[in-house]
Amino acid sequence: MRRILLLSCLLFSWSVVCASEPSGERKQELVRLVRQDCGSCHGMRFTGGLGLPLTPQTLKERPFEGLVATVYYGRPGTAMPPWRSILSEQEAEWIVRQLLNGFPEERR
């Protein structure tokens, strides 16, 4: 019984991790979105502009959940819009993970 429960938990955890990984085509769309839309405020190299820098060095001390919430819900009273109308929470998480690791270049 314990083995079945453990296996069920492992499979559920694996499915949650896999579900948060966008498809190859969607990844390209997300990279393009971040590079163009986020880059317009945060700088094309994410080193800052109207918005704060989005480099791994500036984000590493911030809580992951807070960064995801900022992408998904925006920051009321600031120029940071909510992206929930075009992103899922899992996609917002993927974007934050990419920013923390150094965002990939756009490929066309």
pLDDT for 105 equals 75
In the chain, pLDDT over 70 holds for what percent of residues?
A: 79
- In CATH, the number for domain 24-101 is 1.10.760.10
CA–CA gap between residue 73 and residue 77 (Å, rounded): 12
Give the start-to-end residue ranges of the domains of the chain.
24-101
- Asked if residue 82 lies in contact with residue 72, where contact means CB atoms within 8 angstroms, the answer is yes
Q: How far is CA 86 from the centre of its chain?
A: 13
Residue pLDDT, tens place only, 52-69: 999 999 999 999 999 999
The amino acid present at 95, given as its one-letter code, is I
For the entire predicted model, the pTM comes to: 0.78
